[in-house]
Amino acid sequence: MHYPTGDILQKICLKCDSLNAIFDMPAVPNLFYTELGYMSGAIGMSKVYFTNMHTEMQDSLLAKLGRLIEAAGIGSIEMEGKYVAIKTHFGELGNLAFLRPNYSKVIADAVYKKGGIPFLTDCSTLYAGKRKNAVEHLNTANLNGFNSVTTGCQIIIGDGLKGSNDVEIPIDGDYVKEAKIGREIYDADILITLNHFKCHELTGFGGAIKNIGMGCASKRGKMELHTSGKPAVDQDLCRACRKCLDACAHSAITVDEKAYIDHDFCVGCGRCIATCPFDAISVGMDEAADILCGKIVEYTAALLAGRPNFHVSIIADVSPFCDCHGENDLPIIPNVGMLASFDPVSLDKACADLSQKQPMIAGSRLHVNSNGKKPDDIFKCTHPDTNWQATFTHAKKMGLGSPEYELVEIK
């Protein structure tokens, strides 16, 4: 069963003052407990906890991250005997901007402390990189330093061997009616996200919402998010192996010397993409920026409904492009800090606001695009065709969370 989230759920929940004894938390006035966490009942303002990247002798960033997540309330989640998916990004092979695995271990250790069963996870990519199936994805994660020793837990690819193992979650959205989410992530009892906050060439920035909505989508889910069209076959890459023919339930594919997809019969499910062993089937990522942001919000809302969740974002190595790239450019701003919240919307907004206040790094894409003059909007200047504000507009409409927040600094 799936439940409403955000503003809708707040209307039917109890004041958390009566739940403090259960969760062993200090009294917090005028807050409501929801499946998303603790949110202000009076003005809909969530708490976002922040610590900077400065350390003193005998301290470390990992110790600060531990203090941050404890202060933000990760210990209030009942985890005993429950499966806890820690959604992160292992980085494309060749990229060096992704979050180090050491951060993941801090989260995993906190879950173990509460009696939970943590595992790191991500889903396969739609594009033909080094993470397009579970085997290559795990190999890439290992090469980038993620393993059971460095992270303290196992890695499970969320949508199975070929990226086709998913669950359809109903969602009454403007763009999406059924979110296609990786089954292993869906099957987890609790979702914790560890997000690398950076720029993104399609959504302006990538944070918690994108890590959930796009990152937890299966291959056919990513196809629905990215495109308004249907897949096609690259005739030069096709080997006429006929595996796509067996995967199509709508008789849309014929194979002679090469495979061909008849768009009159194709429903755009994307299963043929996951089946092709030669990366010959693909879609054009042609969805409008505002609609893409809206779809990602709706996928996020579908997965989080009725599911305990907690979110951590790190603003460091803020590269101009997604960690899905096999390279990373010079960061556009200095490292800022680490943040945590039960509300992914407030968390993303706090990250965006803090990033906007930072100086530019000389020689970066932002510095070049702005001709050396600090712009009012660093995301728009880095990627002019994006509209990152659309994410917050639609998130508020969907009741996913609040773009208003209270920033609480932790030393």
Residue 368: which of 315, 316, 330 has the closest Cα?
330
Whether 11 shows a pLDDT value over 90: the answer reads no
Residue-wise pLDDT tens digits, 257-284: 999 999 888 877 777 887 899 989 987 6
pLDDT at residue 127 in the model? 81
pLDDT digits (tens, 9 = 90+) for 25-38: 333 322 333 443 43
pLDDT digits 0-9 by tens, 111-131 = 999 999 999 999 999 887 899
Strands 281-282 and 232-233: antiparallel
What per-residue confidence (pLDDT) applies to 229?
66
pLDDT at 257: 92
Report whether pLDDT(17) > 60: no
Residue 295 · residue 303 · CB < 8 Å: no
**Which of residues 282 and 163 earns the better pLDDT score?**
163
The domain spans of the chain are 6-226+287-409, 230-282
- What angle, 0 to 180 degrees and rounded to 10, lies between the N-to-C axes of helices 61-72 and 101-113? 40
Which residue, among 355, 291, 301, 287, has the nearest Cα to 191 in the 3D structure? 301
Residues contacting 142, CB < 8 A, separation 6+:
none
Judge if 6-226+287-409 and 230-282 fold alike in CATH terms: no
pLDDT, one tens digit per residue, over 324-349 is 999 999 999 999 999 999 999 999 99
pLDDT band at 20 (very low <50, low <70, confident <90, very high): very low
Question: Tokens for 72?
Answer: 């933000």
HEC string of the chain equals CCCCCHHHHHCCCCEHHHHHHHHCCCCCCCEEEECCEEEECCCCCEEEEEEECCCCCCCCHHHHHHHHHHHHCHHHCCCCCCEEEEECCCCCCCCCCCCCHHHHHHHHHHHHHCCCEEEEEECCCCCCCCCCCHHHHHHHHHHCCCCHHHHCCEEEECCCCCCCCEEEEECCCCCCCEEEEEHHHHHCCEEEEEEECEEECCCEEECHHHHHHCCCECHHHHHHHHCCCCCEECCCCCCCCCHHHHHCCCCCEEECCCEEECCCCCCCCCHHHHHCCCCCEECCCCCCHHHHHHHHHHHHHHHHCCCCEEEEEEECCCCCCCCCCCCCCCCCCCCCEEEEECCHHHHHHHHHHHHHCCCCCCCCHHHHHCCCCCCCCHHHHHCCCCCCHHHHHHHHHHCCCCCCEEEEECC
CA distance 235 to 28: 62
- The pLDDT value recorded for residue 41 is 34
pLDDT at 44: 62
What is the rounded distance in angstroms from the CA atom of residue 275 to the CA atom of residue 279?
9
Tell me the sheet residues that pair with 233.
281
Q: Does residue 7 carry a pLDDT above 90?
A: no
Return d(Cα 366, Cα 243) in angstroms, integer: 45
* 56: CB partners within 8 A, 6+ apart: none
CATH for 6-226+287-409 is 3.40.50.11440
- Name residue, tokens 């739940």: 19
pLDDT-derived band at 142, boundaries 50, 70, 90: very high
Determine the Cα–Cα distance for residues 258 and 284; give it in Å rounded to an integer: 20
Fold of 230-282: Alpha-Beta Plaits (3.30.70)
Q: Are 28 and 17 in contact (CB under 8 A)?
A: yes
Is the four-CA dihedral 225, 226, 230, 231 of positive or negative sign? Answer: negative
